[in-house]
Amino acid sequence: MSAAGGLDAVGVVVGLGRALAAAGLPVGPDRVAEAVRALAELDVASRADVYWAGRLTFCASPEDHLRYDAVFATLFSGARPVQRRRPTMTVQTVPLAVEASGTDDGGEDGEEVRALHAAASRTETLRHKDFATMSAAEKAALDRALAAFGLPGQHRPSRRWQATSGGRIDPHRTVRAVLRGGGEPYRLYRRGHTTRPRPVVLIVDVSGSMSPYADALLRFAHAASRRRGGGRTEVFTLGTRLTRITRELSVRDPDTAMRAVAAAVPDWSGGTRLGTLLRDFLDRHGQRGTARGAVVVILSDGWERDDPAELGRQMARLARLAHRVVWANPRKGRPGFAPLAAGLVAALPHVHDFVSGHSLAALEHLARVVVGADARSVGPIREVRADA
Amino acid sequence: MPDLDKRGLLPAGVDSPAGLATRLAQVRYLADDGLATAAYLGLKLHRPLFCEGDAGVGKTELAKALAAVLDAPLIRLQCYEGIDASQALYDWDFPRQLLHLRAAEVTGAGDHLEAELYDRRFLIARPLLAALETTPAVLLIDEVDRADDEFEAFLLEVLSDFAVTVPELGTIAAAVPPAVVITSNRTRDVHDALKRRCYYHWIGHPGFDREVEIVRLRVPEAAEVLVRHVAAAVAALRGEGLLKPPGIAEAIDWTQALAALGAQKLDPALAAATLGAVVKYREDAERALAMDLSALVERAVAGT
């Protein structure tokens, strides 16, 4: 790893690593060491060898490759760095002082009960309030309500085994017991298949017509993707482009996650090309396995700028791949709603459940549908006027 | 990991990625610069190779080609959901243990029975253990994205030390770590910790000339004109936005089918009859038939 012909593998790799880290690739000392080791086996003076040694060690996905290629070109050919257009989504953060009012200085019993009552009814109102009409303070309260949220998929039998009291004989444990007991078969152990939650795929429409809901729905997606108890959740946004934001949502703090999402999604409040983007999703992710056997939830109002027939075709494809397709339309919660948006009309025949998603209660309802309850049997959503 | 050897698993006479590419070409696998470099480094530094790419681009073939170049057995672990240590690593041969126990009872030799029962000869080596115990070996961990994440953690442990601990026996370590190829179709993201252990390489669809080369290598009996036609048609099909764009594996299948029918060039009637070799959905077949294949082939061939 010493200087070779005036060029030093360590220097080259460290320089490259810094530039990559600045471009957002996860470059740790272990990867730098790995790249140095790889380059030491190759020719430091060869641009192609430096390129491959770095690419093999610093990248972990095709998306990384795009960034790597850009950084490498900048660094080694003096090309101008590509400036990414900054997105224009604002993250609302509110200090956590709102809910604490009324319960702070103890006081008399009656006072406290009344305060509790007020808080409870406030929560109840919040549960049913349309996201589009919420104030910043209410959104903060919503955040806390969402934090406790999980979105496990419907359960299905898995191939893993677990000990059960009835069912098939477990040869491993039975024979182990026989061996322990000196050859006497005194007890038969049984086993059965465990169940696992199905993967859940959330597709959030972030186009202009959905902008009053985008923030709340993405926060919902954040809470849902941090679910406990196994099972995967994948989250995508749709607008004029398809963006996978599962990684951005994987941090714990909702505001940090929202900032990461804002930086990753290039098409806030643009138009909608649902059909084309759904095809993109199915080609690049869905058909490979992301949508297979999954519960796919589309959160959109169904306003389609392009040909609705394409959306219909892609929805049919999705319905064949997925275990269940749920369409959540926040506008469904409005009084007098009728599914007239052309895209929605084309999509609905291929949708298993059509629900709203405009309030916390509606999202709770959605979660129950995702876990496998019938949309009709879990009861309708109470409508609350915007001024309630 | 101790680097006992300077050459790693590299075959004699190979001292550059280009040298390895030549050897791979001799066993009818054409690797581009990136893949050759990845395989070279992987063999030399004992790093697993993590290959991602669309179905049918030759991820699994790479492992087979490496095994041929190294003249080593290919040990394959096909991943699936719920795969666990007893299917991937080792299992005890319970029936034989019981038999041994019975025999020991009859002969009355029961002093060291406990130690005897958990002897190496009663251990069934599954692919991972078999790969550690075979030198040299090529271990193919196929479609790791199908296994669940518990399995990944377990794989990480085996691949970082190239050793396995059997509680009743002790640690079994590889004398020389096997060459490891891990493939994934990207149905989900494999954990970064596992990728960090490996060289990551994305295998894409080949360009026209390379595809012609590959198909000619794989189907030597096919006429060159036919191969060029097929490559052109397959490239055009990929641009059509099909549900399942054909990979190099489909191009090879199609050429084989056409050659078996004695075709010298791709004519529309034969193409339609053998379409099942290259497109795998009814919708795709309809679109392909709607395309004017002969015009398309002519245009593509004229263009090259």
Residues A348-361 have pLDDT tens digits of 889 988 888 888 88
Q: Helices H, strands E: what count in chain A?
A: 13, 9
Q: How close does chain A come to B226, measured CA to CA in Å?
A: 29
Percent of chain B with pLDDT over 70: 93
One domain, residues A238 and A280: yes
Q: What angle do CA A102, A108, A113 make, to 5 degrees?
A: 55
Read off the pLDDT band of B77 (50, 70, 90). very high
Number of structural domains in chain A? 3
pLDDT of residue A155: 79
Q: Considering only alpha carbons, which residue of chain B is nearest residue A291?
A: B187
Of the listed ranges A65-79, A290-304, B125-139, the one predicted with least confidence: A65-79
> What would the pLDDT profile of B253-285 be if each residue is shown by its tens digit?
999 999 999 988 888 888 888 989 999 888 888
From the CB of residue A97, how many other CB atoms can be counted at a distance below 10 Å? 9
Whether residue A216 is predicted with pLDDT greater than 90 in this model: the reply is no
One domain, residues A210 and A341: yes
Residue B285, CA distances (Å) to A171, B56, B255, B256, B273 in order: 48, 18, 17, 19, 11
Chain-chain contact of B82 with A38 (C-beta, under 8 angstroms): no
d(CA A132, CA A359): 9
Read off the pLDDT band of B73 (50, 70, 90). very high
Of the listed ranges A99-113, B26-40, B225-239, the one predicted with least confidence: A99-113
Which is more confident, A161 or B213? B213
Read off the pLDDT band of A116 (50, 70, 90). low
Write phi, then psi, for A264 (nearest 5 degrees). -85, -30
Q: How many residues does chain A have?
A: 388
d(CA B61, CA A88): 46
Whether residue A94 is predicted with pLDDT greater than 70 in this model: the reply is no
Chain-chain contact of B241 with A41 (C-beta, under 8 angstroms): no
Whether residue A228 is predicted with pLDDT greater than 60 in this model: the reply is no
Percent of chain A with pLDDT over 70: 78
pLDDT of residue B47: 92
- Please report residues of B whose CB lies closer than 8 A to that of A60: 192, 195-196, 200
Task: Check CB contact of A56 with chain B, cutoff 8 Å.
Answer: yes
> What average pLDDT does the segment B218-236 reach?
90
Whether residue A89 is predicted with pLDDT greater than 70 in this model: the reply is no
A278 near A315, Cβ under 8 Å? Answer: yes
The answer to whether position A4 is within a domain reads: no
One domain, residues A278 and A303: yes
The answer to whether position A1 is within a domain reads: no
Q: Which two tokens stand for residue A164?
A: 């059960």
SS3 state at A177:
helix
The answer to whether position A3 is within a domain reads: no
One domain, residues A124 and A56: no
Whether residue A184 is predicted with pLDDT greater than 90 in this model: the reply is no
Give the position of tokens 């406790």.
Answer: A148
Whether residue B94 is predicted with pLDDT greater than 50 in this model: the reply is yes
State which residues form the domain around A277.
86-101+108-154+198-388
Amino acid at B19: G
Q: What angle do CA A330, A289, A69 make, to 5 degrees?
A: 95
d(CA A43, CA A31): 19
Long-range contacts of B18-26 (CB under 8 A, 24+ apart): B20/B69, B23/B69, B24/B65, B24/B66, B24/B69, B25/B217, B26/B69
**Exposed/middle/buried for residue B193 (C-beta within 10 Å: 0-12, 13-18, 19+):** exposed
The answer to whether position A190 is within a domain reads: yes
The answer to whether position A2 is within a domain reads: no
pLDDT of residue A118: 57
pLDDT of residue B287: 84
Q: Which of B44, B102, B187 sits opposite A289 (nearest CB)?
A: B187
ipTM reported for the complex, 2 dp: 0.81
SS3 state at A162:
strand
The residues facing A233 across adjacent strands are A200
- Please report residues of A whose CB lies closer than 8 A to that of B93: none
One domain, residues A246 and A334: yes
One domain, residues A167 and A225: no
B168 near B118, Cβ under 8 Å? Answer: yes
Sheet holding A155-164, edge to edge: A155-164, A190-197, A168-169
- Please report residues of A whose CB lies closer than 8 A to that of B101: 179, 182-183
For residue A326, the domain's CATH number is 3.40.50.410
pLDDT of residue A147: 64
- The helix (run of H) or strand (run of E) holding residue A73 is helix A62-77
Give the position of tokens 């379409």.
Answer: B275
> What average pLDDT does the segment A2-26 reach?
78
d(CA B127, CA A135): 59
> What average pLDDT does the segment A216-228 reach?
80
Q: How close are the terminal C-alpha atoms of chain B, in Å?
A: 49
pLDDT of residue A290: 84
Sequence-separated (6 or more) residues with CB below 8 Å from residue A122: A141
Q: Which of B80, B97, B202 sits opposite A179 (nearest CB)?
A: B97
Question: Number of CB pairs < 8 Å for A and B?
Answer: 96
One domain, residues A71 and A142: no
Total-model pTM: 0.75
Q: Residues of A25-36 as b/e, b for ≥16 C-beta within 10 angstroms?
A: bebeeebbebbb
Which is more confident, A281 or A6? A281
Which is more confident, A143 or A200? A200
Amino acid at B86: S
pLDDT of residue A378: 53
A223 near A149, Cβ under 8 Å? Answer: yes
- Please report residues of A whose CB lies closer than 8 A to that of B97: 175, 179
What is the 3 state secondary structure string of chain B? CCCCCCCCCCCCCCCCHHHHHHHHHHCCCCCCHHHHHHHHHHHHHCCCEEEEECCCCCHHHHHHHHHHHHCCCEEEEECCCCCCHHHHCEEECHHHHHHHHHHHHHHCCCCCHHHHHCCHHHEEECHHHHHHHCCCCEEEEECHHHCCHHHHHHHHHHHHHCEEEECCCEEEECCCCCEEEEEECCCCCCCHHHHHCCEEEEECCCCHHHHHHHHHHHCCCCCHHHHHHHHHHHHHHHCCCCCCCCCHHHHHHHHHHHHHCCCCCCCHHHHHHCHHHCCCCHHHHHHHHHCCHHHHHHHHHHHC
Read off the pLDDT band of B7 (50, 70, 90). confident
One domain, residues A17 and A94: no
> C-alpha A124: how far from its chain's center?
27
Read off the pLDDT band of B111 (50, 70, 90). low
pLDDT of residue A195: 83
> What average pLDDT does the segment A161-178 reach?
84
Q: Which of A172, A197, A222 is the last residue of a domain?
A: A197
pLDDT of residue A86: 44
Whether residue A109 is predicted with pLDDT greater than 80 in this model: the reply is no
Residue A27, CA distances (Å) to A30, A32, A60 in order: 8, 7, 11
pLDDT of residue A246: 87
Of the listed ranges A28-37, A120-129, B128-137, the one predicted with least confidence: A120-129
Q: Which of A52, A59, A182 sits opposite B33 (nearest CB)?
A: A52
- Please report residues of A whose CB lies closer than 8 A to that of B40: 41
Q: Bin A24: left if φ > 0, else alpha if -120 < ψ < 50, else beta.
A: left
B200 near A60, Cβ under 8 Å? Answer: yes
Please state, rounded to an integer, the average pLDDT across all residues of chain B: 87
SS3 state at A113:
helix
The answer to whether position A185 is within a domain reads: yes
Angle between the A274-281 and A308-321 helix axes, to the nearest 10 degrees? 30
Q: Residues of A308-331 as b/e, b for ≥16 C-beta within 10 angstroms?
A: bebbbbbbebbbebbbbbbbbbbb
Which is more confident, A265 or A327? A327
> What would the pLDDT profile of A290-301 be if each residue is shown by its tens digit?
888 889 999 998
- The helix (run of H) or strand (run of E) holding residue A364 is helix A360-370
Task: Check CB contact of B119 with chain A, cutoff 8 Å.
Answer: no
Task: Check CB contact of B192 with chain A, cutoff 8 Å.
Answer: yes
Q: For residue A6, what is the DSSP state?
A: T
One domain, residues A192 and A223: no
Which is more confident, B94 or B78? B78
B138 near B174, Cβ under 8 Å? Answer: no
Which is more confident, B109 or B21? B21
d(CA A272, CA A208): 8
pLDDT of residue A292: 86
pLDDT of residue A100: 39
Task: Check CB contact of B107 with chain A, cutoff 8 Å.
Answer: no
Read off the pLDDT band of A104 (50, 70, 90). very low
Read off the pLDDT band of A76 (50, 70, 90). confident
Q: Which two tokens stand for residue B201?
A: 């390489």
The answer to whether position A23 is within a domain reads: yes
Amino acid at A317: R
Angle between the A47-58 and B33-45 helix axes, to the nearest 10 degrees? 70
One domain, residues A217 and A176: no
Whether residue A284 is predicted with pLDDT greater than 80 in this model: the reply is yes
One domain, residues A299 and A359: yes
Whether residue B40 is predicted with pLDDT greater than 60 in this model: the reply is yes
Which among B16, B32, B41, B143 is the top mutation candidate for probing chain A, defined by the most A β-carbons within 10 Å of its own β-carbon?
B41
Q: Which of B83, B94, B195 sits opposite A60 (nearest CB)?
A: B195
pLDDT of residue B65: 95
Q: Which of A197, A217, A248 is the last residue of a domain?
A: A197
Percent of chain A with pLDDT over 90: 12
Please state, rounded to an integer, the average pLDDT across all residues of chain A: 78
Write phi, then psi, for B295 (nearest 5 degrees). -60, -40
pLDDT of residue A27: 87
One domain, residues A142 and A168: no
- Please report residues of A whose CB lies closer than 8 A to that of B86: 172
The answer to whether position A124 is within a domain reads: yes
> What average pLDDT does the segment B86-110 reach?
83
SS3 state at A193:
strand
> What average pLDDT does the segment A164-189 reach?
82
pLDDT of residue A112: 57
Whether residue B247 is predicted with pLDDT greater than 60 in this model: the reply is yes
Read off the pLDDT band of B162 (50, 70, 90). very high
